[in-house]
Amino acid sequence: MAKPLKGILKEERFLATLAYDGTDYKGWQIQPNARSVEITVEERLSRIFKKPIDVHGSGRTDAGVHSVGQRFHFDAFWPHPAKHLLNAFNACEKEGLLLTDLRRVPDNFHCRHSSIGKCYRYEIYLGWAPPWEDRYCFATGKRTLDVELMRQAASTLLGVHNFSAYGATHGQGMAYENPVKDLRRLEVQQRGKRITIQTEASGYLYKMVRRLVGGLIRVGEGRLPPERLATYRDERQVTAEVPTAPARGLFMEKVLYDPASLKIKTVKPSKP
């Protein structure tokens, strides 16, 4: 058994990175009468610590969305190396969850408020996807996509803009969220039958990534000219011409932080 770390006598803040298969979950956030990732994580940690543990996520993911790098933080007393807690978490029943990183962070760190950006990726399969991949991508079936047109459209959307045309308001309090976001990256890459859309921004409105992807797919199908997506954005026009892409192709990749916000400052004892 690990020796307790000296000098740790109180609860500390932990930052965790979680990968999960979102297929069987109703998203990250706790909901009545529905299985969410958040409640599953809280139940698992509460069993380990034998007391209720509240977790705070870096953001919501929709039902069916997957994660490579969802972040959450919680406070607890654990007088052992963090890797032993990570192993204890992963030793429980899998339930489509895997903790990939766990570290101590400053007490004033907040995984959502301290974030300086987020990265997502969306997976598209040209044609009919194999059964073992179908739950992790959007398969086009008989439809074809012009990747070059999609790239042209993506380049017009970059920068600091009001993206209210690409958000959704239903039950998510979007009216209280600043719709101005810095879209730093929106790249369309193709390798064989796989098209991957990579995106990074200062933040995202509810369903913004899936609507951006939906617009790019419409352009790739030839149903919208590439410049139309920027026109909708600038006119702040919510339109059915820009559909919401299916959740199963979306992955939360990474939550970005200033490295200084993760560093615990050590206070040297003053000399007598």
Residue 104 belongs to domain with CATH number:
3.30.70.580
- Looking at the fold, whether 228 and 127 belong to one and the same domain comes out as yes
- Looking at the fold, whether 220 and 126 belong to one and the same domain comes out as yes
- Looking at the fold, whether 233 and 221 belong to one and the same domain comes out as yes
The pLDDT, as a whole number, for residue 175 is: 53
As to burial, measured by CB atoms within 10 angstroms (0-12 exposed, 13-18 middle, 19+ buried), residue 217 is buried
Residue 7 located in a structural domain: no
The pLDDT, as a whole number, for residue 176 is: 66
- Looking at the fold, whether 104 and 220 belong to one and the same domain comes out as no
Domain containing 42 equals 12-113
- Looking at the fold, whether 109 and 142 belong to one and the same domain comes out as no
Residues of the chain with pLDDT under 50: 1-2, 4, 7-8, 171-174
Instruction: Kindly report whether the global pTM for this prediction surpasses the value 0.85.
Output: yes
The pLDDT, as a whole number, for residue 11 is: 92
The pLDDT, as a whole number, for residue 8 is: 47
Q: Which residues are catalytic?
A: 62
Whole-angstrom Cα distance, residue 181 to residue 116? 11
The rounded radius of gyration (Å) of the Cα atoms in the chain is 21
The pLDDT, as a whole number, for residue 123 is: 98
State how many domains the chain has.
2
DSSP tag of 268: P
- Looking at the fold, whether 120 and 102 belong to one and the same domain comes out as no
The pLDDT, as a whole number, for residue 268 is: 55
The pLDDT, as a whole number, for residue 67 is: 96
CB 163 within 8 A of CB 230: no
- Looking at the fold, whether 137 and 244 belong to one and the same domain comes out as yes
Residue 48 located in a structural domain: yes
- Looking at the fold, whether 99 and 126 belong to one and the same domain comes out as no
Helix crossing, 82-90 with 37-49: angle to 10°?
120
Chain Cα centroid distance, residue 35: 18
Whole-angstrom Cα distance, residue 161 to residue 157? 8
The pLDDT, as a whole number, for residue 171 is: 46
